[in-house]
């Protein structure tokens, strides 16, 4: 296989200057520069497929349907739409930043350019922490559905119980992480080929699931046939604001991951425009799929608390597994395979973001220079990819043996991490473009209103979740000295980032003095 020849790390950016300070942008010591990645290896369709893969619609929805219904009932579609709005608004800000500064560091690079090295470093940390937590979770989910699929295929329920054996569980998990790492280490063409098959399969099964659910409703064979109503799309029908916030927190999780399309910008054809377009198309396609499948599930199963009703707490952790039999009949195993392929695909594609963020942080001197190394054969951030895999594997292994409650509470903190670094990036867009806000109506909307509103929504959700998570009953119910474990984990993750940042300040002061990547502002 042939590979595009990457530009050397010191070569200037081929796009127009970002600001009037062109010297600070075109590859100088204070501006952006290329990192040796394989330029032009990803197109629009490939970026969208990888974006959908990272979101993992089949995997995220099977775990989100039940908990969201428990909070908001039949207003599930309304909550998905509400969760979609801040994601879309923030995506507009990402698109503007990418158009001006296409850089694989995304949140880290953009927040550094807008606010300086300290805030930029923490934005990068938020992204890395979120993705490493998700990597370990995705591997665990892939293991669970692997054994569920085996149990269904061989009609042997005992096979499904193997997931409860921590040694078997961890060993299988490490195999999944190893496989995903090997694919991610190779070139982006390999990643795209794998993703086309895995994403295509899960989307076909999800669409088939929705069609079959409505078919049962039309033929009177649904479990609890429920008529689709406009009120399902009205968030004001939800009983309380607390329930709306709780539902939104869940819905943020089901949309997270679209920003992977931006972290590939240095490897994408049309790096100034294609990644931003891919991001907005990705979240739009995903919300359409979610609405269709969620409406089908509601119409078929209702929100009752017995049987396969979506309000039944016994099925909420894995709604698709319990609904697959009644809806898909003899081909129910396809849903387990779809969730397996969804988590496996996302496990592989999620490596893209932390690896390229670590690459950028190493390249600009915010982390050891080893992170800036690129595979001379595949032109991928090999060292950063391997480090991400080792940390994710180690995290999952330790947590799986220490306490499963701690593992899942760590996953619950993901919502806070998402709000943290998405919000910082949205505000970075507002501040970086402050001199261009009123140059046109378009600028006023996409560079001021959209990212500002999106960032404010995420900020409110961040602090609301932070306060709520102090309750010892939050999450798994685990607590330390009466303080909820989710809150403690969230603070520990952020504090760990601060400690490492201060350590790097003494080890690599040039970055923190703005000598490697300086603050900047877009000119009108």
- Say which CATH number the domain at 351 has: 1.20.1740.10
Q: What is the CA radius of gyration of the chain?
A: 22
Model confidence pLDDT, tens digit, residues 385-397: 999 999 989 988 8
The total domain count for the chain is 1
Q: Is residue 25 part of a domain?
A: no
Q: Tell the burial category of 230 from Cβ atoms under 10 Å away from its Cβ (0-12, 13-18, 19+).
A: exposed
Query: Is the distance from CB of 341 to CB of 201 less than 8 angstroms?
Result: yes
Q: Could you give the CA distance from residue 298 to residue 316 in angstroms, rounded to a whole number?
A: 13
pTM value > 0.75? yes
In a domain, 495, yes or no: no
**Where does the pLDDT of residue 5 fall: very low under 50, low under 70, confident under 90, or very high at 90 and above?**
very low
Q: What is the mean pLDDT of residues 63-92?
A: 87
pLDDT interval class at 25 (50, 70, 90) = very low
Q: Answer yes or no: is 146 within a domain.
A: yes
**What angle, 0 to 180 degrees and rounded to 10, lies between the N-to-C axes of helices 485-507 and 117-153?**
130
Within-domain flag for 451: no
User: Residue 144's domain spans which residues?
Assistant: 54-407
Please give the pLDDT value at position 108: 96
- DSSP 8-state secondary structure symbol assigned to residue 19: S
Mean pLDDT of the chain: 86
Query: Does residue 40 come out as left (phi exceeding 0), alpha (psi in the -120 to 50 range) or beta?
Result: left
488: part of which helix (H) or strand (E)?
Answer: helix 485-507
The whole-number pLDDT of residue 480 equals 84
Number of Cβ within a 10 Å radius of residue 302: 21
Is pLDDT above 90 for 453?
A: yes
Q: What's the pLDDT band for 21 if we cut at 50, 70, 90?
A: very low
Return the higher-pLDDT residue of 256 and 246. 256
19 found inside a domain: no
Residue 417 lies inside a defined structural domain of this protein: no
The mean per-residue pLDDT over the stretch 282-301 comes to 95
Tell me, yes or no, whether 431 lies in a domain: no
Give the CA distances from residue 278 to residues 46, 178, 266, 273, 285, in Å, rounded to whole numbers and listed in that order: 9, 28, 14, 9, 10
Indicate whether 43 belongs to any domain: no
Alpha-carbon distance of 281 to 206, in angstroms, equals: 19
Which pLDDT value is given to residue 3? 38
Residue 407 has pLDDT above 80, yes or no: no
Q: What pLDDT sits at residue 423?
A: 95
């Amino acid at each position: 296989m042939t590979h595009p020849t990457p530009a050397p790390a010191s070569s200037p950016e081929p796009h127009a200057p970002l600001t009037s300070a062109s010297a600070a942008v075109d590859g100088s010591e204070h501006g952006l520069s290329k990192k040796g990645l394989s330029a032009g290896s990803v197109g629009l369709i490939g970026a969208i497929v990888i974006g959908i893969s990272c979101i993992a619609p089949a995997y995220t929805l099977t775990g989100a349907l039940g908990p969201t219904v428990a909070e908001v009932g039949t207003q599930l579609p309304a909550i998905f739409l509400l969760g979609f709005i801040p994601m879309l608004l923030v995506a507009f800000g990402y698109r503007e930043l990418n158009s001006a500064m296409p850089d694989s560091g995304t949140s880290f690079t953009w927040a550094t350019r807008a606010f300086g090295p300290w805030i930029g470093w923490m934005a990068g940390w938020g992204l890395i922490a979120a993705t490493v937590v998700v990597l370990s979770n995705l591997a665990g989910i892939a293991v669970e559905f692997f054994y569920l699929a085996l149990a269904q295929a061989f009609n042997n329920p005992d096979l499904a119980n193997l997931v409860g054996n921590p040694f078997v569980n961890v060993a299988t998990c490490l195999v999944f992480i190893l496989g995903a790492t090997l694919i991610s280490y190779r070139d982006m063409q390999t990643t795209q080929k794998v993703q086309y098959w895995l994403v295509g399969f899960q989307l076909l099964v999800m669409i088939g699931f929705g069609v079959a659910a409505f078919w049962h409703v039309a033929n009177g064979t649904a479990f609890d046939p429920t008529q689709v109503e406009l009120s399902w799309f009205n968030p004001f029908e939800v009983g309380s604001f607390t329930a709306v916030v709780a539902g939104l927190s869940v819905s943020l999780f089901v949309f997270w991951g679209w920003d992977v399309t931006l972290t590939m910008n240095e490897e994408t054809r049309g790096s100034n425009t294609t990644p931003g377009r891919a991001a907005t198309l990705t979240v739009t396609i995903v919300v359409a799929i979610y609405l269709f499948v969620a409406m089908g599930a509601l119409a078929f199963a209702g929100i009752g608390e017995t049987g396969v009703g979506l309000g039944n707490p016994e099925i909420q952790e894995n709604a698709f597994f319990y609904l697959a039999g009644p809806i898909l009949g003899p081909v129910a195993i396809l849903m387990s395979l779809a969730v397996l392929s969804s988590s496996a695909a996302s496990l592989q594609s999620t490596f893209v973001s932390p690896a390229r963020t670590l690459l950028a942080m190493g390249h600009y001197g915010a982390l050891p220079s080893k992170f800036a190394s690129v595979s001379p054969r595949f032109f991928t951030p090999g060292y950063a990819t391997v480090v991400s895999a080792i940390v994710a594997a180690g995290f999952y292994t330790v947590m799986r043996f220490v306490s499963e409650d701690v593992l899942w509470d760590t996953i619950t903190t993901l919502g806070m991490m998402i709000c943290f670094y998405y919000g910082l990036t949205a505000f970075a867009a507002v501040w970086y473009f402050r001199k261009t806000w009123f140059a046109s109506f378009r600028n006023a909307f996409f560079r001021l209103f959209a990212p500002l509103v999106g960032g404010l929504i995420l900020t409110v959700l961040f602090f609301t979740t932070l306060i709520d998570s102090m309750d010892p009953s939050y999450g798994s119910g685990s607590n330390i000295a009466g303080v909820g474990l989710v809150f403690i984990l969230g603070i520990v993750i952020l504090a760990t980032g601060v400690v490492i940042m201060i350590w790097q300040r003494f080890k690599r002061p040039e970055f923190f003095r703005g000598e490697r990547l300086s603050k900047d502002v877009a000119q009108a």
